[in-house]
Each structure stands twice: as structure tokens, then as C-alpha cells.
Copies of this chain bind each other. A is one copy, B any other.
Amino acid sequence: MGWLADETGLERTAANYVPLTPLSHLQRAAHVFAQDTAVIYGGVRHSYSAYYDRCTRLAAALAGMGVKPGDVVATLLPNIPAQAEAHFGVPACGAVLNTINIRLDVDTVAYIFDHGGAKVALVDSEVLALAEAAKAQMEGDGPILIEVPDAEARISASGRHVTYEDLLAEAPPAFDWIMPEDEWESLALNYTSGTTGRPKGVVCHHRGAYLMTMGTVISWRLQMRPVYLTIVPLFHCNGWNHTWMMPVLGGTVVCCRNITAAAIYDAIADEGVSHFGGAPIVLNMLVNAKPQDRRAFDHTVEVFTAGAPPAPATLTKIEALGFHVTQVYGLTETYGHVTECLWKGAEWNMLDTTGRAAVKARQGVAFPMMEEVTVLDDTLAQVAKDGTAQGEIVMRGNSVMKGYLKNPEATAEAFAGGYFHSGDIAVQHPDGYIQIADRAKDIIISGGENISSVEIEGVLMAHPDVNLAAVVAKPDEKWGEVPCAFVELKEGATVDEAGLIDFARRTLAGFKAPKAVIFEELPKTSTGKIQKFELRKRFKTF
């Protein structure tokens, strides 16, 4: 309580207090970086001056349609410029941005439209039918749809709705942005993927997004004018807030509609992409790319990966190709990443390839904008930092959500004891680095022994024929559960079930080796996470 004895006249004023918001970054960039390139999408290139103008027109158009401060505006868009513009244009009219996953089913989209109460939705032509069907099954009218065709991808407008470019063209370019008066005002509404039950609406505030951008600059070692490729969908934690961050650095956002190895290599070689984030499956895609899809480049590309620990074998291979990979960890409830596996200079430089990959599999330590990220037991006591004792990852700090929309019970439960509870089970190493032991559900209990499915997956991924592997518990009369592996092989690979099990036994204790291997393409979420719950379901019908 550092209040001086006499603080007369020392109150907040317009001169010394401005609510924190990522909107300030683009307002500054429109002046400071006016002629630098803000957005690239195929042949489209917008300077910061043009980007600011387009976002302003979007805000003006929405306000003209009757969108009021605090109203919700949804998007159903892939990573195209309109989605980046919505990140500034929607809050610039005081509205709350609700990016919706374009791969959801009609029922869930209808639920989100209804629960979030979007007044307007910007919808890509390719998923227009989804939005229309969702509206049709709602009781009320649902949001007004603005259609976003995509000339670059040769996707034309249906003619059934006003288009995004027409909307911008007709909007008055002079519009004063409605800046937050309180940095706790709501900026974004993101629905969790909700593998069980209805998705929950995570509400984010301006302050958290601003601080997330500042902390990420530090952790990702970003310098002026980076070139960022949007691989993480912007409908997933607002693309980890990277689009809100770019203007503070005068950086360029390279939009990518379809994520393929060829598209990524082209963006690196042609546009000089320096940074991107993506699930380990993206790393895998780059490592296993066909020769004709690869391009040469002579800079190092900084990669944030999250969603699952990258397999040591993948890490080793991708770094040799010119990518520097840092694992980060977070949730929709924390705006994206809040821990990073911060490289420990001298100590880790001495490690061999295997040792390096092993430490890189850790989720690491708190980002700069977080106050504390640690592992607590059931009684909220710190677990022993011995790499063995397990507990739940909890965190507190300024990039934690406000709570769940219209769900105070779930919010209170998530924040019990003054921490946000991640639901992820982890150990903490003596240096404080966190490592996810396993999602609680992913622990296989076989003959009373706990087996980590992640450990088995890491071993299988090291086999030269394996593209992807996922291990789940299979019911077993004798052992209760045994590990069963689902494996995606590379093209032309020949290894069979016995061969893979034998390969695993060379490294793993016998009880940890998979007892069955099923070869097939693995089910994945839109962000590339393997849907283990889908694999587990398979055994419920056996």
C-alpha cells in the first residue's frame, strides 16, 4: 500500500492514464508504420495506413447497422484479411468479437449464435450454408450475415447477402474509434471446444489482450517488423493474440487459408516469414513434406508449438531444417500461451540431441505477463518439485479470462482458491519447469501401474515409418487396461503391428509397450490436436 502521506492532486487524469487495449497498437502503427506492410494475402497487400482505414470502415459500417457498444459481432472465417481486420474493426465500434470455429456443426453454431447473442456475423462464402442453417434453426432471427467471398481463393459471393467489400466501400472513412473507458471491458468471446457438454463462452478483457501482446514480444524474442504466418486459426484464442500484437512491432501478417506444407514453405521463401505458431502436427507436416513441396530459405524461423508435447524425433528433424521450436502451453481461458519452455542457456547448450529434445518437451515457465504458473495438489499445496509428484497446473495473472459468459457457477469453480484451474495434470522439475505428465484421462492404469500415453507416443514417433501416433487405454480382462496405439504411417511405409510393438519394447518397460496397434488416419480437431476422445469411444463399442 504505497500511498504517500499526501497524495493531493495525484489522481488519474487523461494525461497519465489510458485504459490498456490492443487497439492502441494499431492506432500508433497507423502513424509510426504508415507505409510498412501490415497484411499480405496472395496478391493482396495492405500498408498500415490502409489496414487502419479498412478497420475504421468496418467499425463505421457496423455502427451504421446499429451495433452498439457491448453488442456481440461474430465471425465464421478462415485466416483471411477480413478475420484480421475484424480483430480491430469490431472492438473499434465498442463491440465484442466472437470468432467461431468454421468446422463446427450446425447445432453448435446455432447454440453459439443464440448464447452469445451476436447481432451481426461476418461469414466466409465457403461456410455460408453452415451459418444460414444455424440461423434457420434458431428461435429468433439470429445475426445479420455479411458474406465474405474470397477472390484470392476464387470463391464467389452467393448473391444472397451484402458482401464485406461492399460494406467497407460504402462506410464513411471518418469514424472515431470507440476506445474502452475501462480496460476491464469485454473485448472477445471465445467458445471452448467443449468435448463434453455445451461449449462455454470465455470472455476476454482489453487489459489481458494488451498485456498478452507485450509479454509475447519478450518470450518470442520478437524484434521490429517480424513477418508472421497465421497457421493457428484466428478463431482459436484469437490466434494466440498474435494479430493484436503485430502492429506494436510494425510486423506483417501473412494470411494462409489452407495450411499445407507447400503453402508454409512458399510463405517462408517468398514473403520471408520469420515466425509462426502451430500444433505439433504442423511440424510433422513440414518434416515429412514431399521434396517438390519444400523450398530453400536461409534464415531461422521461430516456431511456437502447443497443444501437445512435440515428439523428440520430430523436434530433432525440424531444427535441422532451419526452424527453432519453442513449446508453449495455455488454454482458451488464458488467451493462449502462458508458459514457455524458455531455453536455459549454458546448462542446456551442453546437452546432446536427445537431451535437448527431452527438455524441449517441457511446457516450461510463466510468460512475463503472468504472475504465477505452478502445480498444486488437491489441497492447493505446492507439489514437490522433483519431476515425479503430480498435481494440477494452476495460474494467476493478467492474461486470465474474466470468466464464462452467463455461467457464474463454472467461473467460480474455475477460479477456486484464487487460481485458474487448467484441469491439466503435470509434474514440476527442480528448476520449476512444468511438464504435463498426461491429461488425467490419458493415464493408462495397467495392472495397478500408471502408464503415460505421451511416453509411448514419443517412442513410436521415433520409428522412421510413423507419421503420427496416439495411444489410449483399451479395456483388458486381466490387466484392467492396456495401451493400444493408433498409428498413421508415412506413404509407402511397411512396418506392421508386430514390428512396431517390438520397436517399442526395445525402449519401454514391457508393461508400457502397446499391446495392439491399429493403422489408420487419426481424427483431429481444426487446430490439429488429435482427438483422443474419439479413439477412446472406439473401445466403448467393442
Q: Is the CB of B217 within 8 A of A2?
A: no
B180 x A1 contact (CB < 8 A): yes
On chain B, the residues within 8 Å of A9 by CB distance are 403-404, 407-408, 411-412
| B-contacting residues, A395-418, CB 8 Å | 395-398, 400-408, 411-412, 414-415, 418
Q: How far is the CA of A368 from the CA of B157 in the complex (A)?
A: 39
Q: Tell me if B2 and A206 are in contact (CB < 8 A).
A: yes
Q: Which of B3, B365, B397 contacts A185 (CB 8 A)?
A: B3
CB distance from A90 to the nearest CB of B (A): 10
A246-292 at interface with B (beta carbon < 8 Å): 248-249
Copies of this chain held together in the complex? 2
Would you call A491 an interface residue if the criterion is a C-beta within 8 Å of the partner chain's C-beta atoms? no
Q: Is the interface of A mostly helix, strand, loop or mixed?
A: loop
Contacts of A365 in B (CB 8 A): 31-32
Q: Please report the C-alpha to C-alpha distance between residue A31 and residue B344 in the assembled complex, in whole angstroms.
A: 12
Q: What per-residue 1/0 map shows which CB atoms of A402-439 lie under 8 Å from chain B?
A: 11111110011011001110000000000110000000
Whether A186 lies near B7 (C-beta < 8 A) is yes
Shortest distance between the CB of A486 and any CB in chain B (Å): 36
Distance (Å) between the CB of A13 and the closest chain B CB? 5
In the complex, the answer to whether B398 meets A20 with C-beta atoms within 8 Å is yes
Complex Cα gap A224–B25 (Å): 23
A69 B3 Cβ-Cβ under 8 A? yes
Q: Known: A1-B180, A2-B70, A9-B407. Is A16-B94 also a contact (CB below 8 A)?
A: no
A139 at the B interface (CB under 8 A): no
Alpha-carbon distance A443/B4, docked complex (angstroms)? 40
Q: How large is the interface on A (under 10, 10 to 19, 20 to 34, 35 or more residues)?
A: 35 or more
Contact call B184/A432, Cβ cutoff below 8 A? no
Enumerate chain B residues within 8 angstroms of A405, measured Cβ to Cβ.
4, 6, 10
Task: Report Cα–Cα, A187/B1, bound state, in Å.
Answer: 10
Residues on the B chain within 8 Å of A418, using CB: 13-15
Contact call B25/A368, Cβ cutoff below 8 A:
yes
Contact A12 B184 (CB under 8 A): yes
* Across-interface contacts of A450 in B (CB, < 8 A): none
Q: How far is the CA of A405 from the CA of B180 in the complex (A)?
A: 29
Query: Is B408 touching A2 in the complex (CB atoms < 8 A)?
Result: no
Which chain B residues lie closer than 8 Å to A5 at the CB level?
Answer: 70, 117
CB distance from A393 to the nearest CB of B (A): 13
Closest chain-B Cβ to A59's Cβ sits at a distance in Å of 12
Q: Does A218 contact B (CB under 8 A)?
A: yes
Residue-wise interface mask of A (8-33) relative to B, using a CB-CB cutoff of 8 A (1 in contact, 0 not): 11111111111010001100100110
* Residues in B neighbouring A411, C-beta threshold 8 A: 9-10
Once the chains bind, are A203 and B2 in contact (CB under 8 Å)?
no
Taking CB as reference atom, which chain B residue is nearest A421? B15
Residue from B8, B187, B368, B431 within 8 A of A248 (CB atoms): B368
In the assembled complex, A176 has its CB within 8 A of some CB on chain B: no
Q: A223-B221, A403-B9 are in contact. Are A180 and B420 (CB under 8 A)?
A: no
In whole Å, how far is A48's beta carbon from the nearest beta carbon of chain B? 12
With a CB–CB cut-off of 8 A, which chain B residues contact A395? Answer: 15
Question: A149: CB under 8 A from chain B?
Answer: no
* Complex interface: chain B residues within 8 A of A96 (CB): 2, 4
Q: Which residue of B lies closest to A367 (CB)?
A: B28
Q: Residue A36 at the B interface, CB < 8 A?
A: yes
Q: Annotate A102-121 by CB proximity to B: 1 below 8 A, 0 otherwise.
A: 00000000000000010000
Give the distance to chain B from A353, nearest Cβ to Cβ, in Å: 22
Interface contact B225-A345, CB-CB below 8 Å: yes
Q: Mark A230-251, 1 if CB is under 8 A from B, else 0.
A: 0000000000000000001100
Q: In the complex the two chains form, what is the Cα distance from A31 to B400 in whole Å?
A: 21
The answer to whether B70 touches A403 (Cβ under 8 A) is no
Chain B residues with Cβ under 8 A from A8's Cβ? 406, 408
Excluding A11-B402, A12-B184, A34-B432, 5 further A-B contacts by CB distance (< 8 Å) are: A1-B94, A4-B203, A15-B395, A16-B208, A18-B396
3 smallest CB-CB distances across A and B, nearest first, come from A9-B408, A14-B418, A16-B400
The contact sample of 25 A-B pairs, CB cut-off 8 A, is A1-B94, A2-B94, A2-B96, A2-B185, A2-B186, A4-B72, A4-B186, A4-B405, A5-B70, A8-B406, A8-B408, A10-B203, A15-B420, A16-B397, A16-B398, A16-B420, A18-B396, A18-B397, A18-B398, A28-B371, A31-B365, A31-B432, A35-B347, A214-B215, A248-B368
